[in-house]
Copies of this chain bind each other. A is one copy, B any other.
């Protein structure tokens, strides 16, 4: 096992280097640097794949697979390696290298397309990426639906059927609620200069427990968290004159970062490092962004710093109003945005719709679910970075995250008076609960095992629907 872990450490280190390259591409790289970065990234992918394919590594891996009497940790290591190695043993290396090269260019094109509302420039990349995704699905294998193979990459065992059932349960209630609710008149946002917003975001992150000496926050077009090392967990954020996205973005990405900064240090460079799945990861970000950050107690705590009343800040953070942009969506309508993306991805992967028809399809689905129509593709199907990364299958994990976060809240409340703590800005007991129950385990438990271990039951959407109803039917 030690030989295997020593070899895996090299793979883990290459992954960190790759994360740095990805971070730099989105945060700092000058536009003309894209082509070379693409070649660099493809080479690193190739080297990393070679390490997976190294016969010596494969031998050690097979030996570990067949071992009996493994400890809990060893079992998890073997299971995670098996899962990860599927990608390299089933997908041809050339395809992975091709994907890596293409996404580097696709990202830059997407950013420009979005800026210039120019879907046509991005469309050929999307075609190519879809082709690759379909090939990947074929190589990985699936039972009913090629999309299942992609969903499983982000959340072990997730299927299109499961998502469909979930969204069928969620969307009617959420649509109903969003129609029933009358949003209070949107209060005027006091215009804080961007610099002050940044300072406040830093203040809140410090309060939450984010360790800036093992991380940093930069500005990027799409906020994200990335782990460049166990002690180098970075987030990006963006600010606007007319919204609180600088606050909610910081809490969201901060939630991801706290998870990564809380994993057992001994797991560094092993297959147990990092959060276990995108769904659980998103449960951390949404917990901080929504359950804490959009609560009236948090509004009470932070309002003075924003020179607003508690009520105005709360109303600003909780406008239930169908909007164009997923990341700006309120808690009620957010999952409707995800449902739309899920349907489109499922149809794209299955060849039921064409890339060239996407603008029309997007708009008609927006109309159906949210009753509104984007005025252009930049605020429509070009808004998200994910497809430029070829991350088909990623979006549904956002909804899983919302559901998990509400379930954590329900059980955390049995131990802690969350409202009282948040009102005082005393987040430490909350972070400690998350560290103790979730963060420390990294990838030791699969999502299903973790939720069972922590809450004694499986993922249960009831907690989310109850939370939403309680919050919005009481407070309005």
A228 to B230, CA, bound (A): 25
Tell me how many chains of this kind the complex includes. Answer: 2
A399 to B153, CA, bound (A): 57
Residues of B within 8 A of A20 (CB): 20-21, 24, 40
Residues of B within 8 A of A10 (CB): 43
Nearest CB in chain B to that of A50: its residue: B47
A24–chain B nearest beta-carbon distance, Å: 6
Of B14, B213, B216, the contact of A43 (CB 8 Å cutoff): B14
A109–chain B nearest beta-carbon distance, Å: 16
Most chain B C-beta atoms within 10 Å of own C-beta, residue among A31, A47, A229: A229
A231 at interface (Cβ–Cβ under 8 A)?
yes
Q: Are A231 and B36 in contact (CB under 8 A)?
A: yes
Q: Are A31 and B213 in contact (CB under 8 A)?
A: yes
Residues of B within 8 A of A214 (CB): 30-33
A195 to B71, CA, bound (A): 58
A407 to B134, CA, bound (A): 62
Nearest CB in chain B to that of A232: its residue: B33
Q: Are A13 and B40 in contact (CB under 8 A)?
A: yes
Q: Are A215 and B47 in contact (CB under 8 A)?
A: no
A39 to B10, CA, bound (A): 9
A338 at interface (Cβ–Cβ under 8 A)?
no
A14 to B14, CA, bound (A): 12
Residues of B within 8 A of A36 (CB): 13, 16, 228-232, 268
A231 to B36, CA, bound (A): 8
Nearest CB in chain B to that of A47: its residue: B47
A60 at interface (Cβ–Cβ under 8 A)?
no
Most chain B C-beta atoms within 10 Å of own C-beta, residue among A10, A16, A20, A230: A20
A427 to B365, CA, bound (A): 56
A229 to B31, CA, bound (A): 12
Contact with B along A29-73 (1 / 0, CB 8 A): 111110111011001100100000000000000000000000000
Q: Are B28 and A16 in contact (CB under 8 A)?
A: no
Q: Are A30 and B215 in contact (CB under 8 A)?
A: yes
Q: Are A228 and B33 in contact (CB under 8 A)?
A: yes
A259–chain B nearest beta-carbon distance, Å: 17
A108 at interface (Cβ–Cβ under 8 A)?
no
Nearest CB in chain B to that of A42: its residue: B13
Please name 20 further chain A to chain B contacts, defined as beta carbons within 8 Å, in addition to the given A30-B216, A32-B214, A36-B231, sorted by A numbering.
A10-B43, A13-B39, A13-B40, A17-B17, A17-B21, A17-B43, A20-B24, A20-B40, A24-B24, A28-B216, A30-B232, A31-B213, A31-B214, A32-B211, A32-B213, A32-B231, A33-B214, A35-B229, A36-B229, A40-B229
Q: Which 3 A-B residue pairs are closest in the complex by CB-CB distance?
A: A33-B232, A36-B229, A32-B231
**13 A-B contacts (beta carbon < 8 Å):** A13-B36, A13-B39, A17-B21, A20-B21, A20-B24, A28-B216, A30-B214, A32-B214, A33-B228, A33-B229, A35-B229, A36-B268, A47-B47
